[in-house]
Structure 1
Amino acid sequence: MRRTFLTPLALLALMMLGSPARAGEGDPKALALQAQTVLKAHCYRCHGQEGSVEGALNYVTDLGKLVARKKVVPGDPKGSRLYRRVDEGTMPPPDEHPRPSAAEIAVLKKWIEAGAPGGERAARTTVTQNDVSAAVLADLETMDRRARRFQRYFTLTHLHNAGLSDEELQTYRNALAKLVNSLSWGSKITTPVPVDANRTVLRIDLRWFVWDATVWNRVLQEYPYGVLDDSVTARAVAVGTAAKQPLVRADWFVGTASRAPLYYDILQLPANLSELEKQIRVDAAENIRQERVTRVAFNGSGISRFNRVLERHDSAQGMYWRTYDFDEPPANLVDRINGGLVPDRRNVFAFPLGPAGLAENPFQHAGGEAIFALPNGLHAYYLTNAVNARLDKGPLAIVSDPKRPDRAVEAGVSCMSCHVTGILPKADQVLDHLAKNPRAFKPAEVEVIRALYPGKDAGLKLMEADAKKYAEAVAKTGAKVSRYEAVSTITQKYEADIDLLTAASEVGLSADAFRGRIGQSDALVKHVGSLRAGGTVSRQLWVQAFGDIVRELHLGGLYQSNLNGPTLRDNTGELDPLEARGDSANGWAFTPDGRRAVVASGDRSVRYYDVEGRRDIKRFVGHTASVWAVALSPDGKFAASGSMDGTARVWDVQSGLEVAKYTDHTSLVSAVAFVPGDGTNRGIVSGSFDGTVAFWKTADGQPAWRAEHLGLVTALAVDPRGGFVAVATENALLVLDLATGRERKRYGKFAAPLSAVAISPNGKWIAAGDDAGTVRVWLVGEDKARFTLTGHEGGVRSVAIKDGGRWVLTGGADRTLRLWDTSAAKQEVPIFRTHGAGVTGVAFLDNGTQTVSGDRDLVVLPWKIDTFLGAAPVVAPKVEPPKAPARIPHAEP
């Protein structure tokens, strides 16, 4: 007699039902807990545990989803498929133990009759794109700088935000781990590494799978969701990984890289089977001639519509199976020669030898599938036509896959879905046919047939051995060999129609916010208006509309794979992942009167720009990568610049010639500033993503001092009186002594990276903005910020401060310019909304009544602010300033 031992969870459920006055009776929360307990005890191991997804169900303990997805019908146990199967004894399967008791089944029934109340789930914090970038940057900073360019990342953040359970997310992780290793020529199984607390950002190293920039860029050619984030953190990630787009969505990757042609291209498979066989060291023709193969032939494969031949070879990695598939012959095909019937050559039982060229009477196949072991033990797949040319999809007349939308067998995903155990065991039928029909073949043919077709026992033994090795390899990825294979299951989920919650999560908004934004845009109403009414959108239409959605919602710049630049020597990434083509302005430095500006351009040049004429006066050319920082000397005669090429340079504005260069930085030079002084002793301070700040002389380009290990330096400003330099980093504001480089003061640690800093003309106030849109203002020498200003909906990109710290001007990635009065306890902040791109440079003009600002698209706009300032400037300039340029019109906020 079998004893059934109840799990602690099951015992808990029974205890709660153990008396006439049952604990929790009528309490929805108690009923939900009891139901969850039963499902966890008996169903969870196949439907959620470690991402298991039998029956495409991996959320069995999520009571709300069971109802939402119609597995349970509230109030109707008999109409609830899940309950019926438990009550009938088909779930768990009959051979699974322990079995649900009558009391446990009663728990489920009572829960459903009570309306199937949902259980309590822990509140989930939304993960933002900034959170993702921060997690990636933190991960990169744990490793050697040289190793960073090999790192790439996959994200599940949008699925986490959409409310998928940990079990559902684990299925995605399993699918990703299996797929990347199934696209690998590496010798080991290596699973993606989670780098954030939620395990929604996963890292791989290109070297694990023998990938390089060519492979990654091929992936990006298909990627429709590439958005270039303008944050400092995202820029640092791009610099570290040497990739414009080092992150892609894991669900998209599984649903796309598992299908040809991308599947073939990542594996770098050739265009015909003979070349593939050379690649894996198989000489198929010679093996057949020398009878070094094992064949299995049969009818009714389930995929092929007619008979099929399997043929096994040894390969460099272990095994290589190929199939010969056949057209189904017309039922009335009769070919009479000399009064006799000739069998159809598509009938392998009449013609078991071949292919053409290797037998006197060969079979006539129409194509087939190749399955071969990768060095790590997983399998790769290849479809061919009759002449062994590569196919993305098999012809429907020969093979079909009922799980695919068009029923076509697709290389990769269809093969994985079918060959869940590796090589599906099939018993040979040719040898039995030969035994019963010995006169069907010539004696010489009989000998060859017996050599190539050793019988069902020999064939099944080889298949079993190959399947065992495959299962061991799959287990190392974290997935399982089961009827519901992880990659094909996730592919189907990705391809399904999407609802409002899914769509909103994919663009980083809540469902309510996205619904509202759709209603504000004619373009979005046309594309995805059905989501507002509770409908769905097909995945194909969503992808088609995604570019417009990004533009309408101002999510960032669209990634374009055709704009990737030259690669590094070792082909691991781009020489300059930050380079931009066309008009772009990463930073601005304006003359006091606003007539001229120096622009840090993404096209490797420094522009000397005529603001009035909206044109370049000249370009300073010499940097070998994009420029990200500029400054003008107080007398306007010299310009300084910092670039992705790791150099800081000084230019003579009049001649456009380079007069000095500092080459000791090893990463992006993100900030430059002139030190008060002139002549040959002129000094420059430069800061870099390599964590250094240097004070160096233009006379010889040698550092007077160099401060190191400061963290990611994002911006800096020099005290106009020459006392100190304020350095913005990824999490702190540092005040360094200008004479020695020693740290005087440190403010922070801040939650978001600082992105802009300025010092007031009297040297007493420091203002700094961060990537979260917050601006802080300090009085030099004090420990805490005097003012914290919030309101920007994106990162602060530029800041200016005047009049004893009272007025602060900020420009942000949200395309706005804001004027803050720190003396006002409460105020309506004037906002200038005319820019069409992120504002990357701002300045107060010395006429005291206007500002000037430049954005990333090289557009410069003035703003008349005297109505907000009220009285004349607090400190009148000593020298009469020139009048405001007549060609710069007044603008209203």
Structure 2
Amino acid sequence: MKRFLNSLLLLIAFPVLADEAKVLQIFDQKCADCHSDGDEEPPLHGGINLTKLQGNEDGIKSILDRITRPDGTKGRMPKSKGNPGDASYLPPLSAEEIALVKAWAGGTAPAASTPATSAPTPAPADAPAATPAPAAEEKPAVAAAPPRRFIPVTEEVRRIADDVMKLSESAQPFARYLTLTNLANLRDASGQPVEDEKQMETYRAAISKLLNSLSHEGQIRVPTAVDEDKTIYRFDLRDYGWTQQEWEQHVVSGYPYALRGFDARRETEIADATHSASAWVRADWFTFAAGQPPLYNQLLRLPDNDRDLEKELGIDVVGNLQNKRAIRAGFRLSGVSQGNRMIERHELGRYPGAYWKSYDFSPLDLHGQHDLFRSPLGPVGAGLTPNKDREFAHDGGEIIWNLRNGLQAYYLSTAAGAKLDRAPTEIVQDKKRRDGAIINGISCMACHESGMKYTLDKPLEQFRDEVGVIALKAGLDRSEQRIVEDLYAPQEKLHEVVKQDEERFKKALEAATPGYDQPLDPVERLYKRFKADIRLETLAAEFGEEDPTFIEKLKDTRDADLESIAAQLEAGMEFPRAGFLDQFRTIAHALRYHQLDFTPIAYTEFTSGASKAGGNVGQVVLSDGGKLSISTDKPHYVKGDLMTVKLKCTEGVFVRLYHFSADKKLTQIFPNAGQSDNFIRGGKEIILPEPGAAFRFRMGSPFGTEIILAVASPVQFTDDGNLSFAQGEVFKSFPETDLRQAKKRGVKGLTVEVTTPTGKVVGERSAPTFSARAVFTVSDH
């Protein structure tokens, strides 16, 4: 073992021969969901920098320990419970997957092995645990790639201006640009780029895939890199069927990061040539904004109901059903729908392609017309049978269809066909998200990264209709049986059309992302990259700055709001992207950046309530859409003042409060010796200290900005020692100077029960944690 660990110190100098793309896919799809520890971005995910992870000896050892521990030989992942079929059950990594991770950890190529099936067979309970890979033999060091240079905003503007002026006058008004400069410029504490070249290639692929996934035209058009660093990409609005007015009205009007004044002459040249107030926008923001409603709907011009959509696409759904020109397949479990699901395929009417729609049923009402196996001849009103009892009544649906260029577009709807931006989680869920929400556009692109998806991720050979054969035995009359036989497709027909549609999409995807061979959806990765919290090390790049002392500029303003922002970042806290717009505007104004006017977009991602941080009132959104809020009675205190803290949560949670002083001392102030019960009932507001309590919060030196951090969990924290107090001990003091460490205290091993819709307990899963903070100042007078 010692030899193995010592070899890890040399890995960063060795070439990584294991298939990194597959390792990333394993982390993202098999590890990230459970091993999140309450973080927005889990420690292991598809966008992690593998090169940097290899330099982390403890991190590598932890990963290998987890994938080879005995739990994995009992037929499930270490943190999952139960047996196959249970909601809490997760199959273990296959032998090939374990070999891939071990080979990557050792910096070697994996040995050839039999390809794994999509549903690994559990190993016997008494199978021995795998052992860590032996130390890699010493090899010549490989020269490190030259460090990526920082690109100033002035150079970015110059490059765009030079490129625009090379275009013909007729093309200039339609030229637009997406930039990755801010991501290429990111540096860690040692000055090294945060984003390696493989991640940058993912982001470049995301630009092209997204643009073409929003296109109204019949050809795939790959945007053009205009600089040798490949951080600025030009595209023509006409290539995707967009108008100049749509760009200004939907994109520019909501773009919050348009800072000007770096090179006034060239900025004017670009504006005059393109006739646009902002001809260039950040690619990460555009991917986030256009990957979800409302911008996704606006750029694709999606109508308000599925009937109008079908009319635009030249599809007569009812007519096709009555004339047996559609095919169907139904399932008890689909992996997305919580109840029954039926999928239905139609040919597009105006150009070659497919139109798939699903009929989804809530698991809370699976009887009568809500039972697809009993009533297979809906939907209501389709006229497939005069027997109303045999018409299914679904609760919602999802639609996938081919664009003219072969890629796919998506639509969510109610049972009545009304457009939805976010699907009801009681009907369908995205199990990769903490809140389970399926958001139109981005959730669908991430799930269907390779085209059509088979039920429960089974291989195509196991993909078959489950409804027809059962419905034929459910007392249908002969005419109803013939309709079921005509519509519910035999396995060979289903496979034929799915393969056809899959090949159409893959051909278009390869054209849109030439050379990109990673299994993870690039759009989802860039979307998540933008959504990540703002940290101390990423703040400067938001403003195009390189200066590692950018944070000092905030302090030098002597502005209370900026000093508060600086104090929080230096304390190790992050600003949620959902609420960062206020801080961005505050910083831009105080540092005299010229920010163009904009109207904030109501992103579907954040419509359940944005997390707030920065003042003496803070809040965070909980997994069910509720909120935890914390506030202090004043934003500023003078020496000797007493402080009270208000807490309120829409659901019952266990809470602990940490005080982070101006001299970076960390103290747990609740629960404490005077009030050890830290459970807050849902909907109840509590004030600390309560009248007559045996403790007080009195303000004193040192003076400056201070923080109260609230951490909440649906179950009690696991560090029992910090929930009890010795004689004479009122509060708990800790040596940390970083609030990120406080957020994780007592979280390891935190689990909650998993229940079925009927209330049956079937296992356990990692419990989510949430944090919010209140910020205030203290002075001596």
* TM bin (shorter chain): 0.5 to 0.7
Q: Is 2:564 the counterpart of 1:526?
A: yes
The 3-state SS of whatever aligns with 2:406 is coil
TM superposition shift of 1:277 = 0.6
TM superposition shift of 1:554 = 1.6
Decide whether aligned partners of structure 1 residues 33 and 272 sit closer, same or farther in structure 2, where only a CA change above 3 A counts. Answer: closer
Quick one: distance in 1 between partners of 2:309 and 2:343? 17
Q: Tell me which of 530, 547, 559 is aligned to 1:494.
A: 530
Q: Tell me which of 433, 447, 454 is aligned to 2:470.
A: 433
The 3-state SS of whatever aligns with 2:397 is strand
Please name the residue that 1:99 is paired with. Answer: 110
Please name the residue that 1:613 is paired with. Answer: none
Q: Is 2:206 the counterpart of 1:206?
A: no
Q: Is 2:497 the counterpart of 1:459?
A: no
Q: Is 2:338 the counterpart of 1:302?
A: no
Q: Deviations over 1:111-144 (max 9, x none)?
A: 9xxxxx9985523321111111111111112221
Q: Deviations over 1:463-492 (max 9, x none)?
A: 121111111111112176865322122222
Q: How high is the sequence identity, in percent, across the aligned residues?
A: 29
Q: Is the 8 A contact 2:203 2:526 kept in 1?
A: yes
Please name the residue that 2:361 is paired with. Answer: 326
The 3-state SS of whatever aligns with 1:530 is helix
TM superposition shift of 1:271 = 0.7
Matched letter for residue 92 of structure 1: L
Please name the residue that 1:225 is paired with. Answer: 257
Decide whether aligned partners of structure 1 residues 119 and 525 sit closer, same or farther in structure 2, where only a CA change above 3 A counts. Answer: farther
TM superposition shift of 1:27 = 12
The 3-state SS of whatever aligns with 1:397 is coil
Quick one: distance in 2 between partners of 1:194 and 1:132? 12
Q: Is the 8 A contact 2:103 2:109 kept in 1?
A: no
Q: Deviations over 1:795-830 (max 9, x none)?
A: xxxxxxxxxxxxxxxxxxxxxxxxxxxxxxxxxxxx
Q: Is the 8 A contact 1:83 1:109 kept in 2?
A: no
TM superposition shift of 1:302 = 1.0
Quick one: distance in 2 between partners of 1:174 and 1:220? 23
Quick one: distance in 2 between partners of 1:60 and 1:553? 32
Matched letter for residue 367 of structure 1: G
Q: Deviations over 1:161-200 (max 9, x none)?
A: 1021221111111111111100001111111211112110
Quick one: distance in 2 between partners of 1:136 and 1:47? 37
The 3-state SS of whatever aligns with 1:381 is strand
Decide whether aligned partners of structure 1 residues 88 and 509 sit closer, same or farther in structure 2, where only a CA change above 3 A counts. Answer: same
Please name the residue that 2:420 is paired with. Answer: 391
Quick one: distance in 1 between partners of 2:528 and 2:213? 18
The 3-state SS of whatever aligns with 1:310 is strand
Q: Deviations over 1:58-104 (max 9, x none)?
A: 56662x3544xx6x4279587677999999972427999952599x9
TM superposition shift of 1:298 = 0.9
Q: How does 1:21-32 map to 2 (within 5 A)?
A: 31-32=10-11
For normalisation by structure 2, the TM-score amounts to 0.60
Q: Is the 8 A contact 1:47 1:58 kept in 2?
A: no
Matched letter for residue 224 of structure 1: P
Q: Is 2:180 the counterpart of 1:156?
A: yes
Quick one: distance in 1 between partners of 2:550 and 2:595? 19
Q: Is 2:213 the counterpart of 1:182?
A: yes
Give the count of matched residue pairs. Answer: 511
Quick one: distance in 2 between partners of 1:269 and 1:90? 44
Q: Deviations over 1:856-879 (max 9, x none)?
A: xxxxxxxxxxxxxxxxxxxxxxxx
Please name the residue that 2:368 is paired with. Answer: 344
Q: How does 1:487-636 map to 2 (within 5 A)?
A: 487-510=523-546, 512-520=548-556, 521-527=559-565, 529-560=567-598
Q: Is the 8 A contact 1:431 1:455 kept in 2?
A: no
Q: Is the 8 A contact 2:181 2:231 kept in 1?
A: yes
Q: Is 2:483 the counterpart of 1:448?
A: yes
TM superposition shift of 1:272 = 0.8
Q: Deviations over 1:178-228 (max 9, x none)?
A: 111000011111112111121101111001100112321202233221223
Q: Tell me which of 146, 165, 173 is aligned to 1:122.
A: 146
Matched letter for residue 517 of structure 1: K
Q: Is the 8 A contact 2:254 2:598 kept in 1?
A: no
Quick one: distance in 2 between partners of 1:106 and 1:240? 61
Q: Is 2:316 the counterpart of 1:283?
A: yes
Quick one: distance in 1 between partners of 2:94 and 2:564? 45
TM superposition shift of 1:553 = 1.7
The 3-state SS of whatever aligns with 1:384 is strand
Decide whether aligned partners of structure 1 residues 105 and 239 sit closer, same or farther in structure 2, where only a CA change above 3 A counts. Answer: farther
Task: Quote the RMSD (CA, aligned, Å).
Answer: 3.6
The 3-state SS of whatever aligns with 1:313 is strand
Quick one: distance in 2 between partners of 1:91 and 1:493? 29
Q: Which has a greater percent of strand?
A: 1
Quick one: distance in 2 between partners of 1:493 and 1:108? 33
Please name the residue that 1:789 is paired with. Answer: none
TM superposition shift of 1:404 = 3.3
Quick one: distance in 2 between partners of 1:304 and 1:366? 11
Q: Is the 8 A contact 1:42 1:100 kept in 2?
A: no
5+ residue gaps, structure 1: 1-21, 112-116, 332-342, 563-893
Matched letter for residue 429 of structure 1: E
Q: How does 1:841-860 map to 2 (within 5 A)?
A: none
Q: Considering only CA atoms, is the larger Rg found in Structure 1 or Structure 2? A: 1
Q: Is 2:440 the counterpart of 1:411?
A: yes
Q: Is 2:259 the counterpart of 1:251?
A: no
Decide whether aligned partners of structure 1 residues 401 and 282 sit closer, same or farther in structure 2, where only a CA change above 3 A counts. Answer: same
Decide whether aligned partners of structure 1 residues 519 and 94 sit closer, same or farther in structure 2, where only a CA change above 3 A counts. Answer: closer
Q: Is the 8 A contact 2:217 2:241 kept in 1?
A: yes
TM superposition shift of 1:445 = 0.5
Q: Is the 8 A contact 2:333 2:339 kept in 1?
A: yes
Q: Is the 8 A contact 2:551 2:566 kept in 1?
A: no
Decide whether aligned partners of structure 1 residues 543 and 504 sit closer, same or farther in structure 2, where only a CA change above 3 A counts. Answer: same
Q: Deviations over 1:667-719 (max 9, x none)?
A: xxxxxxxxxxxxxxxxxxxxxxxxxxxxxxxxxxxxxxxxxxxxxxxxxxxxx
Q: Is the 8 A contact 1:154 1:201 kept in 2?
A: yes
Q: Deviations over 1:639-681 (max 9, x none)?
A: xxxxxxxxxxxxxxxxxxxxxxxxxxxxxxxxxxxxxxxxxxx
Decide whether aligned partners of structure 1 residues 59 and 329 sit closer, same or farther in structure 2, where only a CA change above 3 A counts. Answer: closer
Q: How does 1:693-772 map to 2 (within 5 A)?
A: none
Q: Is the 8 A contact 1:324 1:367 kept in 2?
A: yes
Decide whether aligned partners of structure 1 residues 486 and 80 sit closer, same or farther in structure 2, where only a CA change above 3 A counts. Answer: farther
Decide whether aligned partners of structure 1 residues 186 and 261 sit closer, same or farther in structure 2, where only a CA change above 3 A counts. Answer: same
Q: Deviations over 1:585-643 (max 9, x none)?
A: xxxxxxxxxxxxxxxxxxxxxxxxxxxxxxxxxxxxxxxxxxxxxxxxxxxxxxxxxxx
Quick one: distance in 2 between partners of 1:123 and 1:463? 45
The 3-state SS of whatever aligns with 2:202 is helix
Quick one: distance in 2 between partners of 1:78 and 1:418? 25
Say which structure, 1 or 2, has more relative contact order (CA 8 Å, 6+ apart): 2
Using the TM superposition, name which of 476-485 and 230-239 deviates more: 476-485
